[in-house]
């Protein structure tokens, strides 16, 4: 279930450093989660696997020793082991050999596109894994959720016209003034892929930082309804933890990341793979990783703060969520229906949804004439 790969060499000058992996691994051992997991042996990624997503030139250029400005002097084998391990874990889960998994690897990859690197991201491990699931075992529908603070611009580009891969990114946007300036809600995909790219683009700065209530609202109104409509066979998560408390000014708790993981496990019969991306405050990233792995193994969750469950999302978040729902309403029925509930707290929103569902069921039952057979009654009785 758990996959850990360590880098080699002196990489202390870059925040994508191996100590982050060692600290998370140590935390999982200390809290007993390591013993609840099955170890998946890593392997090297092949050149063909890298090239399934990246150009031949890109693959040749960056499968050698890394340039110092990108990351470190780590060997080709260490890098390929990280990417290959993500692929291997995804295949195990998709085949039903493991229930779910967490790939504890570095470097991050979600900003790498077909022929372009970005910071420490040279190869897009999540995208490569998704492509291998498509090509090798014919997985029909894959959901990729990226909850890191920075937009998954590389993953978006790779699958922008693919209707079989639904990409949902939750990220700091501020109307294009943040990080890479990408990830606007109007970017909904192209050609057959229209509607299969969803950008939850947070705007409004840090005057009222996004926290649990805002991320719960995003999952309640955007992520989960659209994901349920899509009905994926496998869920891959680019699990960056920059939005965790103590990192960027955002205030998402470790418990909330665990809760979001449990929500995603409602999809694809629980076939969920988390892949570590960003997040470099060691305490925060350890806390968040522990919460996510605890959710994956099925432990009893720690309750979220009642204040956050009852809190209405801030005005900036409401505006951001309404914007993305309007952009997606042409492609997903749930987007239109959820618009009216964006300004509700998580608890009230869930109650409203449940009440509406029950009312629809009652209305459906009462609308039938007495003794009228159901559409498939005859077939069911055979």
Separation of alpha carbons 185 and 218, rounded Å: 13
Examine the pLDDT at 79 and tell me if it is beyond 90: no
CA atoms within 13 A on the CB side of 106: 26
> CATH number of the domain at 2-367, out of 3.20.20.70, 3.40.800.20, 1.25.10.10, 3.40.470.10?
3.40.800.20
DSSP 368: S
Q: Which helix (H) or strand (E) holds 237?
A: strand 234-239
Separation of alpha carbons 129 and 145, rounded Å: 14
- The more confident residue out of 105 and 373 is 105
Residue 71, classed as helix, strand or coil, is coil
Domain boundaries, the chain: 2-367
Backbone angles phi, psi at 12, to 5 degrees: -70, -20
- In this predicted structure, what is the pLDDT of residue 270? 97
| Dihedral in degrees, nearest 10, Cα atoms 228, 86, 247, 254 | 50
Average pLDDT over residues 132-159: 91
Q: Which helix (H) or strand (E) holds 227?
A: helix 224-230
- In this predicted structure, what is the pLDDT of residue 33? 96
Q: Which helix (H) or strand (E) holds 199?
A: strand 197-202
Annotated active-site residue 171? The verdict is no
Radius of gyration of the chain (CA): 21
What is the band of 366 on the pLDDT scale with cuts at 50, 70, 90?
A: very low
- For strand 234-239 and strand 142-146, is the pairing parallel, antiparallel, or unpaired? parallel
Report yes or no: 227 and 144 within 8 Å, Cβ to Cβ.
no
Q: What rounded mean pLDDT belongs to the chain?
A: 81
Backbone angles phi, psi at 274, to 5 degrees: -95, 135
Examine the pLDDT at 360 and tell me if it is beyond 50: no
Examine the pLDDT at 121 and tell me if it is beyond 70: no
Q: Of 7, 62, 110, 111, which residue is the catalytic one? A: 111
């Amino acid at each position: 279930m758990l996959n850990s790969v360590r880098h080699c060499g002196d990489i202390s000058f870059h925040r994508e450093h191996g100590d982050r992996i060692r600290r998370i691994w140590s935390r999982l051992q200390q809290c007993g989660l390591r013993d609840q997991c099955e170890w998946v042996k890593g392997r090297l990624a092949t050149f063909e696997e890298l090239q399934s997503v990246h150009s031949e030139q890109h693959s040749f250029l960056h499968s050698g020793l890394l340039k110092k400005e990108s990351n470190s002097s780590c060997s080709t084998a260490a890098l390929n082991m990280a990417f290959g391990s993500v692929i291997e874990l995804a295949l195990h889960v998709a085949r039903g050999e493991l229930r779910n998994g967490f790939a504890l690897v570095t470097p991050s990859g979600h900003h790498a596109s077909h022929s372009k690197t970005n910071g420490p991201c040279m190869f897009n491990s999540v995208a490569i894994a998704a492509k291998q699931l498509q090509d090798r075992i014919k997985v029909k529908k894959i959901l990729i959720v990226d909850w890191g603070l920075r937009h998954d611009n590389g993953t978006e580009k790779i699958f922008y016209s693919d209707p079989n891969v639904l990409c949902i990114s939750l990220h700091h946007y501020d109307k294009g003034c943040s990080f890479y300036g990408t990830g606007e809600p109007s970017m909904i995909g192209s050609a057959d892929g229209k509607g299969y790219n969803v950008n939850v683009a947070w705007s409004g700065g840090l005057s009222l930082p996004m926290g649990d209530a805002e991320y719960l609202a995003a999952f309640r109104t955007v992520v989960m309804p659209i994901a349920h409509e899509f009905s994926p066979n496998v869920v891959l998560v680019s699990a960056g933890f920059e939005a965790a408390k103590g990192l960027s000014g955002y205030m998402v708790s470790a418990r909330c990341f665990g809760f979001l993981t449990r929500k995603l496990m409602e999809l694809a019969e629980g076939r969920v793979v988390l892949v570590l991306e960003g997040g470099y405050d060691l305490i925060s990233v350890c806390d968040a990783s522990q919460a996510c792995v605890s959710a994956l193994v099925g432990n009893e969750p720690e309750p979220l703060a009642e204040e956050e469950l009852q809190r209405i999302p801030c005005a900036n978040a409401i505006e951001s969520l309404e914007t993305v729902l309007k952009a997606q309403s042409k492609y997903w029925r749930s987007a239109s229906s959820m618009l009216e509930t964006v300004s509700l707290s998580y608890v009230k929103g869930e109650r409203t949804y449940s009440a509406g569902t029950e009312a629809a069921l009652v209305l459906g039952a009462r609308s039938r004439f007495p003794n009228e057979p159901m559409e498939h009654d005859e077939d069911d009785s055979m």
